[in-house]
Amino acid sequence: MARNVRSAVVRPAQLQGVACMEAHDDVGVLAAVFSGARGSSRHVGVELWHREEAQRLYRAERRGLADELLSRRRAGLSLDDAYRVQWCGVALRVGEGARILGHKVGLTSTAMQQQFGIDEPDSGVLLDYMNVADGGVLRVTGLLSPRVEAELAFRLGTDLRGADVTEEDAGAAVAEVSLALEVIDSRFDVQGVTLMDSVADNAACARFVLGSGVPLSGWDLGGERLTLCMGASEVAAGDGRAVLGDPRRSVAWLARRLNAFGAGLKAGHVVLAGAVHASLPLPRGATLSVSSPSLPPVSLHVA
């Protein structure tokens, strides 16, 4: 289970721009943006329509119904606007008591980018209710079209932030690495989905499972072969280098992306680095597992 990361609890009224909260740490910088704390919304340009779109996506998730693509309803939607919608959506969940555990980076492999017709990564925020215990049961009731991916996950040992973070910096900041299963699920009809839609939808975050972490001891993660099995059958595989050529680059990219909005990664954050293969449908009744030569396996039962 991930170590608890501090996060501020945001009351729903704050989403209408009521200023009331101070940021407690770098995650709190994002939380302040979510809440509309004094000055923070102006810093990143959060507007009422960003909050309204986030509420629309939130309602779709709660009702279990797909919504119309945001990119079709708002011509000229920018990537930064999409991230603002994402953060406002996270605010709604934090307002109901969710805690921020870290971040995910998605669309990092050529296979995933080709699958969705997208040519750069995206990122989302991991919340505590998304975390399923290793070997635990995931009930897919309420998920629209869940898919699964095998990934590497990192736990930060020190803070990481800045405009010039390199893969070497990222590797030095990582305390542990583990295998992970990520379950993605879109609140949109995925036909025609764009990068902006994915970002606004919190990079399709749904659930994740972390294996046991081990110290990052300098081995070649690019050459680490991840194998995804469904029951006893291998259904997908890929090397760590499928993630931007080196999975540490995923962490560095995320730190630079957050820095653009005055935030960064904190010690204790979990970062899902991205899939090493194209995502696969997640069927009820399946038992999924990921293994690799150097890392403890991780598994999930689907009900």
Q: Which amino acid is at 223?
A: G
Rounded distance between C-alpha atoms, residue 303 and residue 295, angstroms? 26
How many C-beta neighbours within 10 Å does residue 74 have?
16
Work out the average pLDDT over 56-62. 90
Name the pTM for this structure: 0.85
Task: Examine the pLDDT at 29 and tell me if it is beyond 80.
Answer: no
What is the full DSSP assignment across 164-204?
A: T--HHHHHHHEEEEEEEEEEE--SB--TT--HHHHHHTGGG
**pLDDT above 90 (res 193):** no
Q: How far apart are alpha carbons 239 and 201 in whole angstroms?
A: 27
Tokens of 6: 């501090």
Tokens at 250, concatenated: 């995923």
Phi, psi of 52 (to 5 degrees): -65, -40
Q: 131-132 and 137-138: which strand pairing?
A: unpaired
How many angstroms from the chain centroid is the CA of residue 237? Answer: 21
Q: Poorest-confidence range of 7-16, 210-219, 250-259, 292-301?
A: 7-16
- CA 177, 164, 208, 146 torsion-angle sign: negative
Report which DSSP code applies to 286: -
Residue 198: closest CA among 112, 138, 266, 131:
112
Q: What is the pLDDT of residues 83-106, one digit of tens each?
A: 999 989 998 888 889 999 999 999
Residue 230 amino acid letter: M
Question: For the segment 149-163, what is each residue's pLDDT rounded down to a tens digit?
Answer: 999 999 999 999 999
SS3 149: strand
Mean pLDDT of 20-46: 44
